[in-house]
Amino acid sequence: MAETKTIAVVDDDQTIRRALDDLIRACGHASALFATAEEFLAYRDRAGIDCIVVDVKMPGMGGIELQSKLNADPPTPPMIFMTSYADDKTRSAAMAGGAFAFLVKPMEIHRLIDLVHMALKQKI
């Protein structure tokens, strides 16, 4: 049996967090849910996170700023960004910071799951 991985979901939308929690668990992984980037940064077991699915725009700190803070204190788990407001500047910033992927909402669930599995395989 494959080792259970923990996927963090950082999104201010409770509906998105719940849906991704169900999806992640259905794939046999554990999830850790956070309503804000600040809440994620305060989480004591960040070393146990194997992949982060994060919204680009949230109240307070957004996904790009979270990525920057995590990169300042490596290692950073693979990050998959989600956004409803795609623009080239934001996509470029995320990818330049080492994002694994950048998805536009609404997204195909199978695409997200495939990306999570690929990110988990690449995690060192």
What pLDDT does 123 receive? Answer: 65
What pLDDT does 1 receive? Answer: 45
Cβ within 8 Å of residue 35, ≥6 positions away? 11, 12, 14, 17
Nearest CA among 89, 69, 43 for reference residue 9: 43
Domains and CATH numbers, the chain: 6-119 (3.40.50.2300)
- The pTM for the full model equals 0.93
pLDDT tens string 37-60: 999 999 999 999 999 999 999 999
Instruction: For 71, list phi and psi in degrees, rounded to 5.
Output: -65, -25
pLDDT tens string 55-86: 999 999 999 999 999 999 889 999 999 998 87
pLDDT at 102 over 50: yes
